Amino acid sequence: MNAARTLHWLLLLPSLLLLALLLGLPLAAMLARSLEPNVLLSFTGPALDNYAYLLSRAYYLQVIWRTLRLAAETMLIAIPLGYAAAMLLQGLSGRAGNLAIMGLTFPILAGPLTVVLGWMALLADGGPFLGPLVEAGLIARPRLLGSEAGVVISLVQFVLPFAVLTLYTGLRQIQPPMHEAARSLGAGALSRFWHVTLPLSLPSVLSAGIITFSLAASSFISPHYLGGAGQLTLTTLVSQFIMATFNAELAAAAAGLLLLLMLGSVVALTAAIGRFIRP
C-alpha cells in the first residue's frame, strides 16, 4: 500500500469507527435478537424461525408487498417530478436559484412530523383543498386519510427535495459544451435531452432513485399517521410488535427483513439503471 492510500484510510478511520460503533453494534445486537424465541414462538435459538414465521403468513407478506409498493410508487412519481424541477432550477439565475433551493429545503428543516400534521389537515375531506369541491358537489367525499393514496402523496412530498437536489447536482455536472456540440450538429431540444442530458444524468437518477426508495420504505411517520392500523407497513408493524405486545424479537426480525429488502431493492435498482450508464 502506498503512502497516499494509507493517508486515505487514516482519514476515513474516524468516520468508519463512528459508523461501526453507532450503527454496526446496535444493528448486530438487533439481528442477534431476531434469532431468539419470544412470547409468540418457542424454539431453541439462535434460529431463523421468526423470519420463517413472518414469511409464511399471507398477512405479513401483504405488509411486505405494501411496503415495497408504496416505496416504488413514491420513487416513480418523485423522480420525473424532481427531474423537471431540477431542470427548471438549473435555468434560474443566482438569487432566484438560491431562493428556490432554500424553499426546497424548508420542508426538510420543518421535520417530517410537522409536515405530516399539515397533510392531515389538508387531506381531510373537510379540508381547504377538497372541502369546497365536496361542498359544490363536484366530487364525491373522498377518503384520503387512512388510504394508500394519502400515504403516497405525503411520501412524494417528503422525498421530493432530496430527489430534486440530487438530480440538480447531477445536471450541473454536465459540461455546457456538450449541449453546444449537440446543437451545432443540428440536434433539436428533444433530441438533445434524449441523447445528451438524460444519458449523462443517469448516475444521479440512480442516486435519486436509491435515496427516494429507501426514504419511503423506511419512513414511519407518514404510514403511521396517514395510513393507520389497516394499512400496516414494515415500519409500523415493527412499532406494533414493540409497543403492543412487547415482542422485541419478532420486531427485530421484521426490521431485519426490511433491511434485507431495501438492500435487495438497491441492488436491483443499480442493476436496472446501471446498464444504461455509459462509463
Partner 1 sequence: MLLSRRHTLQGLAALGTAGLLARPALAQARTLTVSTWGGVTEEGLKAYVQPEFERLTGARLAYDIGGQGARYNKLMAQRANPPADVFFSTDEAVIAGQKAGILTTASRRNVPNIADIEERLRTVKSGETDETIAGAPYTLIAYVLGYNPEKVTAPVTSWADLWRPEFQGKLAFASPVHSQMPAFVILAAEMAGGSAENVDPGFKKLAELKPNKLTVFWTDWAPLAKSGDVTLATEFDYYLETMKDQNYPIEYVIPKEKGIGVPEYVSVVKGTKNQELAEVFLNLMLDPKVQASFAGSTYSGTTNRKAELPESVRSRCACGARADQLRFFDPALFAARRPLWTERMNLEVVPSWQAR
Residue whose C-alpha is closest to residue 54's, from 277, 254, 198: 254
198 binds partner 1 (CB under 8 A): no
Question: Toward partner 1, which CB reaches closer, 140 or 189?
Answer: 140
Residues within window 43-62 making contact with partner 1, judged by CB under 8 A: 57-59, 62
Is 69 near partner 1 (CB under 8 A)? no
CB of 114 to partner 1, least distance (A): 17
Q: Nearest distance from residue 150's CB to partner 1, in Å?
A: 9
DSSP code of residue 159: H
66 close to 233: Cβ distance less than 8 angstroms: yes
CB of 124 to partner 1, least distance (A): 6
Of 8, 69, 143, 195, which lies in the binding site for partner 1, with binding defined by CB under 8 A? 143
Is cis: bond before 132, omega within 30 of 0? no
The DSSP code for 226 is I
Beta carbons within 8 Å of 233's beta carbon, 6+ residues apart: 63, 66, 67, 70, 223, 227
**Binding segment toward partner 1, per CB under 8 A, in 26-34, 100-108, 199-207, 236-244:** 236-244
Among 161, 170, 209, 227, indicate the residue that binds partner 1 (CB under 8 A).
Answer: 227
* Contact status: 230 vs partner 1 (CB under 8 A): yes
Instruction: CB nearer to partner 1: give 104 or 151.
Output: 151
Q: Is 139 in the site for partner 1 (CB under 8 A)?
A: no
CA 268/CA 278 separation, integer angstroms: 18
User: For the window 240-269, what string marks contact with partner 1 as x by the rule CB under 8 A?
Assistant: x-xxxxxx----------------------
Tell me: does residue 136 bind partner 1 (CB under 8 A). no
What is the C-alpha to C-alpha distance for residues 253 and 32, in angstroms, rounded to an integer? 9
Cell (9 digits) for 221: 411517520
Question: Helices 94-110 and 148-172: crossing angle, nearest 10°?
Answer: 140
173 binds partner 1 (CB under 8 A): no
**What's the one-letter identity of residue 88?**
L
| Interaction between residue 279 and partner 1 (CB under 8 A) | no
- Name the residue nearer to partner 1 (CB basis): 36 or 205: 36
Total interface residues for partner 1 by CB under 8 A: 25
Among residues 91 and 137, whose Cβ is nearest to partner 1? 137
Quick one: cell of 108?
426538510
Among 107, 118, 142, 228, binds partner 1 (CB under 8 A): 228
CB of 227 to partner 1, least distance (A): 8
- Alpha helices (H) in the chain, listed in sequence order: 3-19, 25-33, 49-55, 58-91, 94-110, 112-123, 130-135, 148-172, 176-184, 189-192, 198-218, 221-222, 234-243, 248-274
Residue numbers of the site for partner 1 (CB under 8 A)? 39-40, 57-59, 62, 124-126, 143, 145-147, 227-231, 240, 242-247
